[in-house]
Every structure is written in C-alpha cells, then in structure tokens.
Amino acid sequence: MNMKKYYPTALALYFTYFVHGIGVSILGQYKQNFAGAWGADKLSNGTFDVSMVLAVIAALGLGRLITLPFSGPISDRFGRKVSGLIGVVLYVAYFIGIAIAPNMYVAYAFALLGGAANSFLDTCVTPSCLEIFVNSGDVANMFTKFSISIGQFLLPFVIGFIAASNMSYTTIFFVTGIALAIDGILIAIAPFPPRNGNVDSKKDTPVKSEKMKFTATSIAVICIGFTCTSTFQLWLNCNQELGKLYGLANPSQIQTYYALGSMVAVLVTAVLVKKFIKPVRVLVLYPAISAIMLMIIYFVQTPGICLIGGFVIGYSAAGGVLQLAVSTANSMFPTNKGKITSIVMIASSVANYVILNAASYISKSGGVEGPKYVLLFNAIITVVGIVLALYVNRQYAKEGIN
C-alpha cells in the first residue's frame, strides 16, 4: 500500500496537537484576566482570586475523562476521521466559548467541551499516525508530543506580541479557533488509511477487531500512563512556586526551558528508538532520569537548578514517555487501537485529577516548604513508574518481544 498519499493527512492531524499545546496552556497564562472578567474578588495585594480559573482548568481534565470511554469505540467503529472531526468541532467551540464566556459557569461548560475534544483527538490522531507510518509507529506517535511542545514553546512569544500590539487577550482564542476550523475542513476532505490496515499491510481492507484480553504486562503499561503523566503534571503545576521558594527572579522561565527540553527529547528519542534502543527501554530510562533530577532539585536549592531541572524534566518526563506507552499498548492490541488509546489516556486523565488534588493538599499542609514536599511526592510516583517499566521489560525479554 502506498502510504505517501496520507502524509498531508498526518500533517493536518499534527496541527490539531499544535493547537492542543496552546489550548492546555493558555488559560494558565491569563488567569488574572479571566478572573477579572468573571467577577472574582480582589485579594489584599490587589490581584484577583484565581481559584475559579483553576476550577475551569480542572474541567478540561474532567471533560477528557468523561468522554474517553466513548471516543475510543467511536474511533474504532465509525472511523478515525469521524473522531477527529468531532474533536475539532468541540475544540473550536472551546476556544470561542471561553473567549466570550460571561462567567465561570459558562466557561466551565466550554472547558468540559475542550476536554472532550482532547479525548476525541487522542483516539483519532494516535491510531491514524500508527496506521499511516506503518514502519515508524513509535516515532510517528512521539511527534504528537513534539507538536504539543511547539505550541507551548511559541505561546509566550505570541502572548508578548499581542500585548505589545495592544490587542485584547481574547485575540489568540479567536485566531486559534479559526485556524483549527480551517484545519478541520482539510481533515474532512483528506484521505485516511483503512482502520487497522497496518495489522496486515498487504491488504487494503480493514482487519476485524478482536476481543481485548488484558494481561499483567498490558495493565502495567496502562499504569505507566498514570505515573508518567503524574511526573510532568506535578512539575508543570508546581514549578512556579518552587522557583519563587528558591529565589528565582522570573519563575516563568522554567516553562520555556521545560518546553525546549521536551522538543529536544522528541527529536533525540525519535532517532534512538528508530536505530538504537527499544521503546520499552525508554520507559525505564527516562523516568529514571526524572527521578534523579527531582532529588537533585530537592537537595540543591538554587535558582539555577530550577531552570536546569525544567529542561531535564521537560526532556525526560514530557518528551514522549506517554506517547511511547500508548504506542506500546497499541502494539499489544493492534485491532483495538482506539479503545486501548482511550484506556491509557483514561489512566493519564485520572492522574491529572487525583495526583494534582493530592499535591494541592500536600502543598497546603507543608506551608512555605510545600513545593519541596511535592517534589518528594513526585519522585515517589516516578519511581513506581520505573518499577512498572522494569516489569514490562522483563516480560518482553521472557516472551522474546522486540
């Protein structure tokens, strides 16, 4: 089968993840603006109480968690294109809706749609890329993360441009929504490969799905979706406070180093898994690097270590581990890619909710030293992920799986 005709489709799908990188980060950059627009109370220092904005951000994860059980089966039964178009429509609604929302309740509803959009894109883009790039599935899936990282890396510069041009902070929401709508039209007319066509590349017809049978190994891979997400989510949501605690003058710099590290990781890891190392080995190696870095940051309490840590954790935790876990799980269930992608992403979404709530409690209980205790908590979760990955590697070795 000539797969080159599907390359433009892959490009359009990667663009949705570029937009997703903006979508999951932009609310956090405009917390004060939205808090003021939604009628939040002012604090004693003159800033707005941003708790309602944080609640809306959390709704993204909730919307994703609610719809993942449905998005996978829809993708497997009705096609990747259907799942992708649903995701695009919902994401456009999210961007436009958040920008015009008069209060947090309306914004919360649109944030749920944004989370749902993410789940439908997950179960479209990942299976589609695996089916387009038959011989480079692991690398192709990692580039979804690269697309996200580019969006996150460019966002601060775009925000700076909008501010310098005296444009409204909602401008980027409208522009991004319109760009995504145009990309949706391209996806609607683009050709998609046969579902499960990469199971037997000699046939240009879909292969019938088989009943999913879970083993201890596949469950361990699913759990890695939980642990690896916990590592980078805990860092993403707690590094600003840690930077302040360690005396970093501009903690927002950590995000730039983090995004840069994740982009470098995708490029380097793509070469490694293609030529030198098995993807399941990366599931051990990168979390191990993260765990070591987290402990170094705990003991070396200087401003510079936060920036170094941002890059290293961006590289090792957010540089494709989740994507490799997804592609590994997909290799175990080649005729149920949509469903297994949903399941791994459900584990990831649970981590977003459970782990961050636990971190909130730890931080509050720890007072001034709270961010340091979150670091230790993060290291413990990461070590659990290493143990799971070691088990998966051991089972692969036993069964002679490449």
Task: List, for the chain, all residue ranges whose pLDDT scores fall below the cut of 70.
Answer: 1-2, 45, 138, 195-210, 364, 367, 400-402
Residues 6+ apart with CB under 8 A from 64: 115, 116, 118, 119, 345, 349, 352
Phi and psi for 30 in degrees, rounded to 5?
A: -120, 35
Phi and psi for 264 in degrees, rounded to 5?
A: -60, -40
The whole-angstrom separation of Cα 279 and Cα 324 is 6
Alpha-carbon torsion, ordered 316, 322, 328, 333, to 10 deg: 180
Indicate the residue type of 183.
D
With left for phi above 0 and alpha for psi between -120 and 50, is residue 46 left, alpha or beta? left
Indicate the residue type of 310.
G
Domains annotated for the chain, with CATH where assigned, are 1-208 (1.20.1250.20), 209-402 (1.20.1250.20)
pLDDT at 361: 75
Alpha helices in 194-302 (DSSP H): 216-245, 253-271, 279-299
pTM score: 0.75
pLDDT at 199: 52
* Contact assessment for residue 293 and residue 186, using Cβ atoms and an 8 Å cutoff: no
Query: What is the per-residue pLDDT across 331-381, written as a single tens digit (0 to 9) for each?
Result: 888 777 778 888 898 898 888 778 877 877 777 677 677 788 989 999 999
The whole-angstrom separation of Cα 141 and Cα 345 is 14
Phi and psi for 170 in degrees, rounded to 5?
A: -80, -10
pLDDT at 187: 93
The whole-angstrom separation of Cα 324 and Cα 260 is 19
Residues 6+ apart with CB under 8 A from 47: 32
Tokens of residue 286, six digits: 């990168």
pLDDT at 139: 76
Q: Nearest CA to 205 among 220, 195, 190, 215?
A: 195
Query: What is the per-residue pLDDT across 59-75, written as a single tens digit (0 to 9) for each?
Result: 888 888 889 888 888 88
* Beta-bridge mates of residue 48: 42
* Beta-bridge mates of residue 42: 48
Residues 6+ apart with CB under 8 A from 391: 216, 217, 220
Query: What is the per-residue pLDDT across 14-53, written as a single tens digit (0 to 9) for each?
Result: 999 999 988 887 887 787 888 889 988 887 767 777 778 8
Tokens of residue 254, six digits: 């950590």
Question: Which 3 state secondary structure label does DSSP give 334?
Answer: coil
